[in-house]
Structure 1
Amino acid sequence: MEIFLTAVGEYLGKVGAETTIDLYADFEITEPEPKRLFEKIQQAALAEAKEAGTGRRKGDPYMAVPLDLTTGKGIAYFSRLAHRTIDCESVLDNKVVFSTVENERIVCLNVPDHEVEALESKAREAGATTLSRIA
């Protein structure tokens, strides 16, 4: 999934999609690198909220945290955490084009088929082996 999400994150960054992630997980993140990144982004979100004096949605600094998918750092957070949290979504032209909702194995993409095919191809070239589509 992380290989595929790297390709998706790069694509979303290039097209200018606005991406947010909710920093809660229904299941403990146990893999060392994703766990480290999750704790790091939570700390940064909390520090940002304290500095600003308010949190995001209804005062919760862990909800709708923006990710900058034009940077390697943003793509790293996206690829390792988007599918492990309760929600991550990207919006382009007021339309949700990417979403994960409490599911480590399924992502929803609302982009043209040729773009999905290109993303799958790029992910396979990078080593992804278990991609499949649900109609």
Structure 2
Amino acid sequence: MEIFLAAVGEYLGRVGAETTIDLYADFEITDPEPQRLFDEMRQDASVQAKSANAGRRRGDPYMGVPLDLTSDKGITYFSRLAHRTIGCESVLKNRVIFSTVENERIVLMGIPDQEVEALESKAREAGATTLSRVA
């Protein structure tokens, strides 16, 4: 999944989609690197919320955290965490074009079929072996 999501993240960054991630997980993240990245993102979100809202109360700092998919760091967070959290979505022109919802194996994509095929091909070339589509 991470290989495929890296290709998807690059695409989403290239088309200018706004991407957010919810930094909660229903299941323990057992892989050390994704767990480290998850903890790092939560720490950053907490610090940003405190500095942006000094003295004011705001919503949950771990929900709807923006991801910059024009950077390698943002793509790394996306590829390692999007499928491990309770939700991650990308919006382009007020339309959701990517979403994961509490599922480590399924992503929803609202992009043209030829783009999906190109992303699948890129992921397979990078080593992905278990990709499949659900109609």
Which amino acid in the other structure matches residue 128 of structure 1?
Answer: A
Partner deviation per Cα, 1:56-95 (whole Å, 9 max, x = no partner): xx61000000000000000000000000000000000000
Find the counterpart in structure 1 of residue 28 from structure 2: 28
AA paired with 1:66? Answer: P
| 2: CA distance, partners of 1:30 / 1:49 | 27
SS of residue paired to 1:59: coil
- Matched residue, 1:42: 42
Shift of 1:53: 1.0
Q: What secondary structure, in the 3-state scheme, does the structure 1 residue paired with 2:120 have?
A: helix
Other structure's SS at 1:90 match: strand
RMSD: 0.8
Residue of structure 1 in register with 2:59 after alignment: 59
- In structure 2, the partner of 1:17 is 17
Work out the CA distance in 2 between the residues paired with 1:105 and 1:121: 18
Structure 1 length as normaliser, TM-score?
A: 0.96
SS of 2:48's equivalent in the other structure is: helix
1:93 is the counterpart of 2:93: yes
Consecutive unaligned residues in structure 1, runs of 5 or more:
none
Q: 1:114 matched to which residue of 2?
A: 114
3-state secondary structure, aligned to 1:83: coil
The secondary structure found in structure 1 opposite 2:27 is coil
1-side partners of 2:39 and 2:127: how far apart?
Answer: 27
* Cα distance in 2, alignment partners of residues 122 and 40 from structure 1: 28
Aligned to 2:3: 3
How many residue pairs end up in the alignment?
A: 132
TM-superposed deviation, 1:30: 1.2
SS at match of 1:121: helix
Supply the distance in 2 between the matched residues of 1:102 and 1:36 (Cα, whole angstroms).
19
After TM superposition, the runs of 4+ consecutive aligned structure 1 residues lying more than 4 A away are: none
